[in-house]
Structure 1
Amino acid sequence: MRPMRGGGHDRINTCLPDELIVEVFRRLDSKPSHDSSSLVCKRWLALERRSRTSLRIGATGNPDLFVDLLSRRFVNVRHVHIDERLNISLPVHLGSAARWRGGSSSSYNKSEEDGVETNSLSDAGMVALGHGFLKLERLSLVWCSSVSSAGLTSLADKCRLLKSLDLQGCYVGDQGVAAVGQCCKQLEDLNLRFCEGLTDVCLVELASGVGKSLKSLGIAACVKITDTALEAVRLHCKSLESMSLDAESIHNKGVLAVVQGCPGLKVLKLQCINVTDEVLIAVGNCCSYVEILALYTFQRFSDKGLHAIGNGCKKLKNLTLSDCYFLSDKALESIAIGCKELTHLEVNGCHNIGTLGLESIGKSCPRLTELALLYCQRIGKFVLAEIGKGCKFLQALHLVDCSSIGDEAICSIAMGCRNLKKLHIRRCYEIGNKGVVAIGENCRSLTNLSLRFCDRVGDEALIAVSQCSSLQYLNVSGCHQIGNAGLIAIARGCAEITYLDVSVLQNLGDLSLAELGEGCPNLKEIVLSHCRQITDVGLNHLVKNCTMLTSCHMVYCQGITSAGVATVVSSCPNIKKVLVEK
């Protein structure tokens, strides 16, 4: 990418003002495009840095050093995401440059015992964040365990425009969170999941400081936060729209306080073993705007609570029920009758919910677009017939360990839900070629298909699926009857494939890889583990044309040697991950 030149003159740089070039950079849709633009000339480098609004920093290397360097180069950053689970290498020259400049010891987070640099953001990094990014609006500090209240207090004092703060897994104390409440009066979103050192004191202080602006609050595994903190939320946070609670120390009293004091709640996610039907009844009575409701591992409420939700939450669109052992078909019937706007439903491990409850959803919820049934042993083989008849807009179906669901059910979906785009099936052993063939023949918009460990699915199914030319994701791991014929059909019919998992397919050989290389040039990730018949020859054919490959798993592939691995690495300039064993 270069400025247009005519007669030896740079027409772009001489005619266009800075503001217009910066606006062009802002409209670029990817980081590689930004990086390419910055290499054109020094002016574009400076302007592109001005247009950057977000940064993502990982663990490897020294996050403190990264923050210090980046804050001087990208002055208009508004969103910083630091995740110490991400493995992003620090270029050697950056570390060397910092030492050459004679940086102080505060630029590094070193172990006092051996002086070795670690990969944890420290309070020094927080100070650099505050000084360097005064326009910061969103900050994510995920598992930054070395950050303390002192660092958070320093940042809060400088970044008073902060609107979103994620402290997941940080060991900050009450003082730091209280300082955010005192300084960041525009704060809207706060995530305190796994901040184990916090107590009621910090939330009381925070709620009194940012109560008027706070809209979203997440708390998990904070054992010292009790009902007292939630009562402060009720008192000050009248505009709260989203709350996620995962806590054994929270009881009815605290959740009731929020539900009754924050009638504008739209999102409520609860995993609180001490909460009962009383809370759900209050939600039904007080929170008519609830659109997303997720209930996890509840053993102290019954169909009575879901009946209240069905009666009162008419705008409910997304419902998750996970390990709610005492709910029955009557609970789903109440939801189906009362919540006609339902678009997403997940039922996971609710062993007393069976066929009748799901049939009522099919009959009464025509707007359903996504359905997930996981570990539902009581759901019968004809349960999806009503879904197929009544839910014409269904786009995603997930089935895991539903032992009674077979081909008839999948055929019903295929015939009734022709807009289906995603189908994920795992360990549903009654589903075979017939059902998947029906999907391939009727659901031509399919982009995402996973058939993991479905023993009865073979080449015939994939030959039919090859008619879905928009298919991008395919996982058929453990489908032992699939061989070369099925994969060759996919290679010839589905040129848009970017992800392919064919692990544990014993009948797959080099011919399939050769066809994939010819027909699927956009392939980025492939999993070949435990494919015994694949050799270096097949790999060579695959990577000859699949130069966009970024990830290749070859665990326990006995026919692949070090030469084959070397071929993958040398032929794919974008390769990032190669997994090899035995």
Structure 2
Amino acid sequence: LSRRGVRKLQVLSLRRGLRDAVASLPGLESLSLSGCYSVTDAALASAFAAELPALRRLDLSLCKQVTDSSLGRIAQSLKNLEELELGGCSNVTDTGLLLIAWGLKKLKHLNLRSCWHVNDAGIAHLCGGGEARGTPELEYLGLQDCQRLTDEALKHAATGLPNLKSINLSFCVAVTDAGLRHLARLPNLEDVNLRACDGVSDAGVAHLAESGRLKALDVSFCDKVGDEALLHATLGLSGLRSLSLSACRLTDEGLERVARLSQLETLNIGQCTRVTDRGLR
């Protein structure tokens, strides 16, 4: 495989040693182990015993046996990693994020979906808080269903992640409008997903509108968001291309304001039960 120039490897089922597969591909740039439930810390420690300077992307999503121990090994051996997928790795904790913050200086994409043990302290590590060096090059941060996170995490992000372009906070039920005030300070933020964030209201959208830079916003199933949010959007988010308002308190009056968003390409208003045919004309 190495002689054929293979640089990307996707493993669907692990029946043989991972170490042999990795060792045979010294130029490996992308490795996906997504859904390989049998992968353990020991297997990853063996596979990454030596440095892999070419590896840029690693997908460990749904590798449920992976713990902070593996993140320590990754931080040591994969120093050029730019993309790390940890969605569903529910044993990862703030300690693991500290290890990432120490070793992965080039990281641009980090997905922590459903890493339920992660809290504000872990995000502080990524942002260079305390003894951590941080991950200042990060452009995407996926925090979907990390329900221990609060507005404090967004306060850390506002000061420690200056290159952040996209953040997914869907189902982070402790995030509120106050946290979005911090988020709006990020100079490069373009995409915010707040789906099912119960603490977000029209006031939170107003905070985001102050930035004037967003291109995509999802506040679906935020039942405190309504017509007033669209007023703020039309005044401060004229560059929006995608807007999702499914199940929000939207009426025909609010929908009329959407027409002022001249660059809008995608609008989701499913389950907005107060919208009638008149609002769609």
TM-score w.r.t. the length of structure 1 is 0.42
Distance 1:251 1:323 in 2: 19
Cα pair distance change 1:462/1:241, threshold 3 Å? same
Q: State the partner residue of 2:200.
A: 431
Q: Does 1:486 align with 2:274?
A: no
Q: Does 1:267 align with 2:36?
A: no
Which structure's relative contact order is higher, taking Cα pairs within 8 Å and 6+ residues apart?
2
Amino acid at match of 1:469: S
5+ unaligned residues in a row in structure 1: which ranges? 1-206, 338-358, 515-582
Measured against aligned partners, the alpha-carbon deviations of 1:353-388 in whole angstroms (never above 9, x if no partner) come to xxxxxx77xx95554433333223322244323333
Equivalent residue of 1:452, what SS? coil
- Equivalent residues in 2 for 1:343-382, closer than 5 Å: 365-382=135-152
Cα pair distance change 1:402/1:283, threshold 3 Å? closer
Measured against aligned partners, the alpha-carbon deviations of 1:3-40 in whole angstroms (never above 9, x if no partner) come to xxxxxxxxxxxxxxxxxxxxxxxxxxxxxxxxxxxxxx
Cα displacement (A) at 1:452: 0.6
Cα displacement (A) at 1:465: 0.7
TM-score w.r.t. the length of structure 2 is 0.81
Q: Is the 8 A contact 2:102 2:134 kept in 1?
A: no
Which of 388, 398, 405 is equivalent to 2:168?
398
Equivalent residue of 1:511, what SS? helix
Q: Is the 8 A contact 1:226 1:254 kept in 2?
A: no
Equivalent residue of 1:217, what SS? strand
Measured against aligned partners, the alpha-carbon deviations of 1:468-513 in whole angstroms (never above 9, x if no partner) come to 3322222211112x2122111111x112222222222232233322
Cα pair distance change 1:295/1:489, threshold 3 Å? closer
Q: Is the 8 A contact 1:448 1:473 kept in 2?
A: yes
Distance 2:95 2:181 in 1: 35
Amino acid at match of 2:277: D
Structure having the larger proportion of residues in helix: 1
Distance 1:249 1:211 in 2: 29
Q: State the partner residue of 2:80.
A: 289
Amino acid at match of 2:56: K
Q: Does 1:247 align with 2:36?
A: yes
Structure having the larger proportion of residues in strand: 1
Which of 214, 225, 229 is equivalent to 1:461?
229
Amino acid at match of 2:155: A
- Pairs aligned (count): 277
Cα pair distance change 1:365/1:243, threshold 3 Å? closer
Cα displacement (A) at 1:327: 5.2
Measured against aligned partners, the alpha-carbon deviations of 1:412-460 in whole angstroms (never above 9, x if no partner) come to 323x1354322222122221111212323x2323222221111111212
Cα pair distance change 1:272/1:458, threshold 3 Å? closer
Distance 1:489 1:313 in 2: 44
Distance 1:424 1:473 in 2: 11
Amino acid at match of 2:111: T
Which of 213, 218, 222 is equivalent to 2:5?
213
Over the aligned positions, Cα root-mean-square deviation in angstroms equals 3.2
Amino acid at match of 1:256: A
Distance 1:280 1:510 in 2: 53
Q: State the partner residue of 2:279.
A: 512
Cα displacement (A) at 1:321: 2.5
Amino acid at match of 1:499: T
Of 427-436 and 303-312, deviating more is 303-312
Q: State the partner residue of 2:103.
A: 312
Amino acid at match of 2:47: V
Amino acid at match of 1:420: L
- Equivalent residues in 2 for 1:20-419, closer than 5 Å: 207=1, 210-211=2-3, 213-220=5-12, 222=13, 225-227=15-17, 230-245=18-33, 246-252=35-41, 254-261=43-50, 263-264=52-53, 265-270=55-60, 271-275=62-66, 277-298=68-89, 305-325=96-116, 331-337=122-128, 365-414=135-184, 416-417=185-186, 419=188
Q: State the partner residue of 2:268.
A: 501
Distance 2:179 2:123 in 1: 20
Q: State the partner residue of 2:242.
A: 473
Equivalent residue of 2:218, what SS? strand
